[in-house]
Amino acid sequence: MKLIFERGEEGQGLSLMPACDVPVVKPQSGYAREDKLNLPHVSENELSRHYSELGKAVHGVNDGFYPLGSCTMKYNPKINEAVAALPGFTGVHPLQPEETAQGCLEVLYDTEKALAEISGMDSVTLQPAAGAHGEFTGLMLIKSYLRFKGEKERVKIIVPDSAHGTNPASAAMCGFEIVNIPSAPDGCVDLEALKNAVGKDTAGLMLTNPNTVGVFDKNILEITKIVHDAGGLCYYDGANLNAVMGVVRPGDMGFDCIHFNLHKTFSTPHGGGGPGSGPVGCKAFLADFLPGVRVKKDAEGKLHASKSPKSFGNVKAFGGNFLVVVRALAYILTLGKEGIPEAAKNAVLNANYMQACLKEDFDLAYNVHCMHEFVLTLDRLHRETGVSALDLAKGLLDNGIHPPTMYFPLIVHEALMIEPTETEPKETLDEAIAVFKQLKKLAYENPQALHDAPTKTPVRRLDDVKAARTPVLKYKFQ
Ligand SMILES: *Cc1c(COP(=O)(O)O)cnc(C)c1O
């Protein structure tokens, strides 16, 4: 497809901007642009077609099934968008006097309260912009607390081998050493390995529960106790909160701090690099170290934002990605106390339904009741037919289905990690199950067809290493 700069021609264009009605002032020489500003010259009609064409070249939740494990690609109710687009929210300035922004402060205050309640934490910062950013923030909290207590020798963060790659990366960014521990055969934390790993140098443990193989760790209370008894803290990677929200709370499992992925669990469109939000919640003893300002209510009900003197600083400007927070609050209030656990339970039900139907044809990495997602291993299919998890994923694309997460977690060979989410009806699940089964049959009958897939997409197989290593991010004008 053509880029916007390759469409239209000089002289065409939109005339929506009113003529300038103030004197034109040119900046001093040296500060002014010398060459012509290259802007596209297209009519409104062409512009509109350009965006429609772009929309057709990608696959989003609004186009079809998107079972991308661990990413919770659920449908995002349009009412959240409508609320986030209200001028009172889009037009506010962070340096506006507090008394003129009470409504926006109330959004921050209420969201903090709701997230604290859902997670079993006491305080929340809304500043971090993503899950990984939240991990960094949570680990900085742990570091600040240990420094405050003078426990400088605690420099190690324990991370199980099933963890998301961001966990060890965030810990390294914070200057911690990483101790990797293997998972037990059932995918849960190996208690003996954990007991051997903790010691006087343990700063903490990072864990997601349910974990990345979709299993709720039955020993969770013992795990957090082992770490606490050794003097370490427990960090909850909340990316999988969609499976348990309103049902069980990380705070009650023994965790000291947590991040939320508002763009996953609390319904903001994501996946295209748009703004996210990764608030961090913590127990009261860590709250003074939180970054940014806290919103507090005075005796007259007026809201004020202030920063604790012990705060370790800022991780983002002002209140973070505010409009994502607005969407999350709209979502939480729409679902309410009954709807939140219902969403979690339906997410688990949908995943178990798909798992039960697919296990007739595919091998499960862990043959247990799953939570919101489950992992298939295509190891046997690969050995018998030469068709890999990647080939099957490409075959799904030709059937209008976004592939599941592939080759993750790293401990499973030829992994496909499927997370249907609660927002898909049984009809969609049944259609997807039929496609999976049909592709498996095809793998035995005509494996080449799957090596050649996809054939119906705007582009075929891309060189993803080249795309990651040498991306072309700038348009070169002639
Ligand atoms: C998505 C995810 C993260 C990172 O979150 P981002 O918002 O993508 O930075 C961390 N852990 C797990 C288990 C995840 O699925």
Domain boundaries, the chain: 79-334, 338-466
Q: How far apart are CA 349 and CA 242, in angstroms?
A: 12
- For residue 9, the model assigns a pLDDT of 86
Task: Name the token pair of 137.
Answer: 């923030």
Give the residue whose CA is nearest to atom 5 of ligand 1.
131
* 364, 213 Cβ separation under 8 angstroms: no
The confidence band for 402, taking pLDDT boundaries of 50, 70 and 90, is: very high
Q: Determine if ligand 1 sits within 6 Å of the CB of residue 166.
A: yes
* 101, 92 Cβ separation under 8 angstroms: yes
Q: Determine if ligand 1 sits within 6 Å of the CB of residue 190.
A: no
* 260, 96 Cβ separation under 8 angstroms: no
Query: Tokens 């349910």 — which residue?
Result: 210
Q: Residue 260 Cα, ligand 1 centroid: separation in angstroms?
A: 9
Q: Residue 384 Cα, ligand 1 centroid: separation in angstroms?
A: 34
- For residue 464, the model assigns a pLDDT of 87
Q: Residue 465 Cα, ligand 1 centroid: separation in angstroms?
A: 21
**Residue from 135, 164, 211, 324 whose mutation best tests the ligand 1 pocket (most atoms within 8 A of CB):** 164
**What average pLDDT score do residues 63-88 get?**
95
- For residue 298, the model assigns a pLDDT of 95
Q: Residue 271 Cα, ligand 1 centroid: separation in angstroms?
A: 11
**Residue from 237, 270, 408, 411 whose mutation best tests the ligand 1 pocket (most atoms within 8 A of CB):** 237
State the closest ligand 1 atom to the C-alpha of 237, by its place in the atom list counted from 1: 11
Provide Rg for the chain, Cα atoms: 25
- For residue 397, the model assigns a pLDDT of 96
Give the residue whose CA is nearest to atom 15 of ligand 1.
70
**What average pLDDT score do residues 62-73 get?**
94
- For residue 114, the model assigns a pLDDT of 98
Q: Determine if ligand 1 sits within 6 Å of the CB of residue 168.
A: no
Q: How far is CA 222 from the centre of its chain?
A: 28
Whether the pLDDT of residue 38 is over 90: the answer is no
Task: Name the token pair of 199.
Answer: 């010691």
Task: Name the token pair of 112.
Answer: 């903090």
Q: Residue 196 Cα, ligand 1 centroid: separation in angstroms?
A: 27
Q: How far is CA 31 from the centre of its chain?
A: 41
Q: Determine if ligand 1 sits within 6 Å of the CB of residue 261.
A: yes
How does pLDDT run across 268-300, given as a tens digit for each residue?
A: 888 776 789 999 999 999 999 999 999 999 999
CATH topology for the 79-334 domain: Aspartate Aminotransferase; domain 2 (3.40.640)
- For residue 475, the model assigns a pLDDT of 83
State the closest ligand 1 atom to the C-alpha of 72, by its place in the atom list counted from 1: 15
Q: How far apart are CA 67 and CA 70, in angstroms?
A: 9
Q: How far apart are CA 67 and CA 74, in angstroms?
A: 9
The confidence band for 148, taking pLDDT boundaries of 50, 70 and 90, is: very high
Task: Name the token pair of 244.
Answer: 């348990």
The confidence band for 8, taking pLDDT boundaries of 50, 70 and 90, is: confident
pTM for this predicted structure: 0.92
Give the residue whose CA is nearest to atom 4 of ligand 1.
131
The confidence band for 346, taking pLDDT boundaries of 50, 70 and 90, is: very high
Q: How far apart are CA 393 and CA 63, in angstroms?
A: 17
* 75, 410 Cβ separation under 8 angstroms: no
- For residue 425, the model assigns a pLDDT of 97
Whether the pLDDT of residue 28 is over 90: the answer is no
How does pLDDT run across 357-400, given as a tens digit for each residue?
A: 999 999 999 999 999 999 999 999 999 999 999 999 999 999 99
Q: How far apart are CA 137 and CA 473, in angstroms?
A: 29
| Helix/strand/coil for 157 | strand
State the closest ligand 1 atom to the C-alpha of 134, by its place in the atom list counted from 1: 9
- For residue 33, the model assigns a pLDDT of 84
The confidence band for 66, taking pLDDT boundaries of 50, 70 and 90, is: very high
**What average pLDDT score do residues 123-134 get?**
97
**Residue from 161, 162, 166, 260 whose mutation best tests the ligand 1 pocket (most atoms within 8 A of CB):** 166
The confidence band for 19, taking pLDDT boundaries of 50, 70 and 90, is: confident
State the closest ligand 1 atom to the C-alpha of 133, by its place in the atom list counted from 1: 9
Percent of the chain with pLDDT over 70: 99
- Nearest Cα residue to 328 out of 141, 119, 142: 119
**What is each CA distance from 90 to 94, 305, 315, 335, in whole angstroms?**
11, 19, 22, 24
CATH 3.30.1490.20 holds for 338-466? no
Q: Residue 441 Cα, ligand 1 centroid: separation in angstroms?
A: 34
Whether the pLDDT of residue 91 is over 90: the answer is yes
- Nearest Cα residue to 69 out of 220, 277, 213, 255: 213
- For residue 413, the model assigns a pLDDT of 96
How does pLDDT run across 316-345, given as a tens digit for each residue?
A: 999 899 999 999 999 999 999 999 999 999
- For residue 426, the model assigns a pLDDT of 98
Q: Which helix (H) or strand (E) holds 403?
A: none
Q: Which residues neighbour 379 within 8 Å (Cβ) at sequence distance 6 or greater?
A: 363, 413, 414
H-state helical runs in 417-456: 426-445, 447-452
Q: How far apart are CA 390 and CA 12, in angstroms?
A: 45
- For helices 426-445 and 389-398, the axis angle rounded to 10 degrees is 120
Taking the CA atoms of residue 91, residue 132, residue 204 and residue 307 in that order, the dihedral angle to the nearest 10 degrees is -20
**What is each CA distance from 476 to 40, 380, 468, 473, in whole angstroms?**
14, 47, 19, 10
- For residue 117, the model assigns a pLDDT of 98
Q: How far apart are CA 63 and CA 126, in angstroms?
A: 31
Q: Determine if ligand 1 sits within 6 Å of the CB of residue 208.
A: yes
Q: Determine if ligand 1 sits within 6 Å of the CB of residue 164.
A: yes
Q: Residue 3 Cα, ligand 1 centroid: separation in angstroms?
A: 32
* 12, 50 Cβ separation under 8 angstroms: no
Give the residue whose CA is nearest to atom 7 of ligand 1.
131
- For residue 153, the model assigns a pLDDT of 97
Q: Which residues neighbour 458 within 8 Å (Cβ) at sequence distance 6 or greater?
A: 1, 56, 57
State the closest ligand 1 atom to the C-alpha of 130, by its place in the atom list counted from 1: 7
**What average pLDDT score do residues 58-86 get?**
94
Average pLDDT of the chain to the nearest whole number: 94
How does pLDDT run across 408-461, given as a tens digit for each residue?
A: 888 899 999 999 999 999 999 999 999 999 999 999 999 999 999 999 998 999
The confidence band for 217, taking pLDDT boundaries of 50, 70 and 90, is: very high
Give the residue whose CA is nearest to atom 3 of ligand 1.
131
